[in-house]
Amino acid sequence: MRSVSLLFLDGTSAMFLNRTPAMSHRSTSPNVGFHPKTFGTCSAAFLSSFVASVQMKMHSSHSSDHGHDEPTPVTDRTHDNSWSANLEQPQHAVDVDLVVSQAIDAIEHTEPGNHVNLVTHGDHGHPSEYLFDALDEAYGDDLSWEHIQQCGCGGHVTRVYVE
């Protein structure tokens, strides 16, 4: 079992076990620093999307607008930069419609001139089998996208350019 721990400059820390968030903690120490770790074969897109996911979860309150049975939103803000949307959570593995709807939500939360990396769960196969047609139906020629790579975990990275 591979374990990776992260300590953020704001005192927030997170631990991942086999690429799954396992624990988070807010330090009370005023002398918190950054401790670099070795991330093994984790891709930059994977690590970036998990860090964003963990930070969002750690800073959201328990009394959020969505119920316990509803999936966690892929983002809670509009991104005026290029970013990665994590669509590899267990909830995505069992619901391809959730992957598609949250992929569209991620695109809608990306400012023009940027791109979003849609990191999709491997259980659904190549994104051309379910995602590309949905994007074409939703956006037509207003967007362009490309399959970047298949991750070591079996997932896929599709880069969507928002014009």
CA dihedral defined by 49, 133, 109, 106, rounded to 10 degrees?
-20
Same domain, 88 and 26: no
Quick check: 113 pLDDT over 90? yes
93 found inside a domain: yes
Task: Identify the three-state secondary structure at position 75.
Answer: coil
User: Hunting for tokens 């690429």 — which residue is that?
Assistant: 19
Neighbour-count burial for 13-24, b at 16+ CB within 10 Å, e otherwise? bbbbeebebeee
17 found inside a domain: yes
Which of 36-40, 72-76, 78-82 is modeled with the greatest confidence?
78-82
**Structure token digits, residue 121:** 């769960």
72 found inside a domain: no
Per the structure, the count of domains in the chain is 2
10 found inside a domain: yes
CA distance 147 to 119: 10
- State residue 140's pLDDT score: 92
- State residue 86's pLDDT score: 96
Confidence of residue 71 (pLDDT cuts 50, 70, 90): confident
Using DSSP bridges, classify how beta strands 83-87 and 114-120 pair: parallel, antiparallel or unpaired.
parallel
Question: The domain that contains 98 carries what CATH number?
Answer: 3.30.110
pLDDT in tens, 32-61: 333 333 334 445 555 555 555 544 444 443
Domain that includes residue 106, residue range: 83-162
117 in Cβ contact with 157 (< 8 Å): yes
Confidence of residue 133 (pLDDT cuts 50, 70, 90): very high
CA distance 111 to 56: 19
Confidence of residue 159 (pLDDT cuts 50, 70, 90): very high
CA dihedral sign of residues 94, 98, 100, 105: negative
69 found inside a domain: no
38 found inside a domain: no
23 found inside a domain: yes
Q: Cα 141 from chain centroid? A: 25
Q: Side chain identity at 3, as an amino acid letter?
A: S
Of the two residues 24 and 134, the one the predictor is more confident about is 134
- State residue 53's pLDDT score: 53
